[in-house]
Amino acid sequence: MEICFVASECSPFIKVGGLADVVGSLPQALTRNGAHCCVVVPLYKKINDNYGHQLTYLGEYPVDINYTQRIVKVMGMDKDGVTYFFIQHAGYFEREGGIYGFMDDGERFAFFQKAVMELFRAINYWPDVIHCHDWHTGMIPCMLKENYWYDSRYNRMKTVYTIHNLAYQGNFPKSMLDSCLGLSFRLFDNGNVRFDGGISFMKTGIVYADKVTTVSPNYAREILTSEYGEHLDQVLMMRGSDLWGIVNGIDTSVWNPTTDNHLAYNFDRENWQEGKAANKAALQKQLGLDEDPHCFVLGMVTRLVDQKGIELVIQQMDEIVKMPMQLVILGNGNAEYERILTDCENGNKGKICFYNGYNEPLSHLIYGACDGFLMPSKFEPCGISQLISMRYGTLPIVRETGGLKDTVNPYNMFNGDGNGFSFYQYDGLDMKEAIWRALAVYYDVPQHWTNLVYHALDTDVSWDHSAGIYMDLYHNLGVW
């Protein structure tokens, strides 16, 4: 079975969020299940700078955009059993300042999707399934059925569209249908691509894909409601029989406390207590926290955006600083949140540390050193951080939403069962109470805490189970 993943980012080449982690690790897991996978992403400047010397030139071809013809070059490489294709166009993709947030993002990713559709013909590569991810690739199922129906090589290909975050939809003016996408305005008039007076790449992917997936069973249920459906709940309900919720996994070779070279001390299930103690000491020293081996340390590695529940943390900060614990937050995003958290650190040196930015080695150390990991998300399609934290024996404290509810089994005070702590309402007081529950077990019921850590370490957070479900989904399409 030949599966072609198409996405805007892919770890380790380029990463902004969890999308890159999935596209970077799921193909390898599918390969272990007998499929052959390729991944197609734009060739951003950062990729070219870091990996350009490893890439092989595979060819070039023209793509029409804005009534002009632009030349695309295709570069490729094989890595860990997966083939990677990179779509090169310097004007669209080799820019300073990140990979998203440009005024012409609609045109850029329209061009990328058209280039992908022509890639198959240019290099004579014909996958069984095109697996598209998020709004940046949502028009591909539509273009396949509307613009390539006459070609039997395209006509046999099936499409899967995965929603990683329904809140980011790729909504643009309808004029792009003709100028950038080469699609008929008929599709706007009949409602197939129309959304809020313009067009939606996300809606189009949902309407046209043969199967639609999202990244946890609970999120698949949530997005059928008006509360979480982002005005697409009715469209999703129409595709209900084709909607699959499949929980994400993580690359357990990258996130592995026994081999992680970013840790001060590697550990496994047998010596996790020594490992935690050594890494906590290293983290406290590195970040200027009070060097107390017995103090509970709570970590967050997150984007500072409303979705992640940072407002709840800020609301309760006066209470948090009174708790018998230290708080470490690594992340950036909303400038006001950054300012407030910086002020919190400055007023509570030794107890609170806010690292403004992203630091990959430090993120690993936080997972390995902390006792608890806080994720008070307003919504969370799946979540990766709670999976990583459990892999490192760090107990997640989460709100019961999306994939957090699917993956974290809350502590049972009667029998000591569970692998973390949870709260239901999106409310600062409920979050505070969940933190207090964790502190009470840590300080007062150490045997239960030890059991919870073992349960977390024993939780299967790999792709093995979910990759099998994806294989079932592909088989369900009738391509094998």
User: Can you give the residue ranges of every domain in the chain?
Assistant: 2-249+464-476, 272-458
Q: What is the largest CA-CA distance in the chain?
A: 70
**Regarding predicted confidence, which is higher, 480 or 109?**
109
pLDDT of residue 358: 87
Look up residue 103 and give its two tokens: 């005024």
Binned at pLDDT 50, 70 and 90, residue 442 comes out as: very high
- Alpha-carbon distance of 86 to 72, in angstroms, equals 10
pLDDT in tens, 174-196: 999 999 999 999 999 999 999 99
**Phi and psi (nearest 5°) for 212?**
-120, 135
pLDDT of residue 480: 63
pLDDT in tens, 131-143: 999 999 999 999 9
Side-chain-facing half-sphere of 267: CA atoms under 13 Å: 25
Look up residue 301 and give its two tokens: 């590695």
Mean pLDDT of all residues in the chain?
96
Q: What is the DSSP letter of 263?
A: S
For the chain, what percent of residues have pLDDT higher than 90?
Answer: 98
Look up residue 54 and give its two tokens: 């490893």
- Alpha-carbon distance of 60 to 73, in angstroms, equals 4
Beta carbons of 305 and 18 less than 8 angstroms apart? no
- Alpha-carbon distance of 146 to 155, in angstroms, equals 10
pLDDT(103) > 70: yes
Q: What is the amino acid identity at position 377?
A: S
H-run or E-run covering 122? helix 105-123
Cα–Cα separations (whole angstroms), residue 371 to 367, 410, 420: 9, 16, 11
Tell the CATH superfamily of the 272-458 domain: Glycogen Phosphorylase B; (3.40.50.2000)
pLDDT in tens, 42-92: 999 999 999 999 999 999 999 999 999 999 999 999 999 999 999 999 999
Cα–Cα separations (whole angstroms), residue 45 to 5, 48, 92, 115, 462: 21, 5, 10, 18, 31
Pairing of strands 82-88, 68-79: antiparallel
- Alpha-carbon distance of 458 to 378, in angstroms, equals 28
The 10 Å Cβ neighbour count of residue 234 is 10
Binned at pLDDT 50, 70 and 90, residue 17 comes out as: confident
- Alpha-carbon distance of 381 to 245, in angstroms, equals 10
pTM value is 0.94
For the segment 279-283, the average pLDDT, to the nearest whole number, is 98
**Phi and psi (nearest 5°) for 19?**
-55, -45
For the chain, what percent of residues have pLDDT higher than 70?
Answer: 100
Beta carbons of 169 and 200 less than 8 angstroms apart? yes
pLDDT(479) > 80: no
Torsion of CA 383, 385, 388, 394, to 10 degrees: -120
pLDDT in tens, 79-98: 999 999 999 999 999 999 88
pLDDT of residue 478: 86
- Alpha-carbon distance of 445 to 394, in angstroms, equals 16
pLDDT in tens, 345-399: 999 999 999 999 989 999 999 999 999 999 999 999 999 999 999 999 999 999 9
- Alpha-carbon distance of 143 to 381, in angstroms, equals 27
CATH 3.40.228.10 correct for 2-249+464-476: no
pLDDT(236) > 70: yes
First CA to last CA distance, the chain: 7
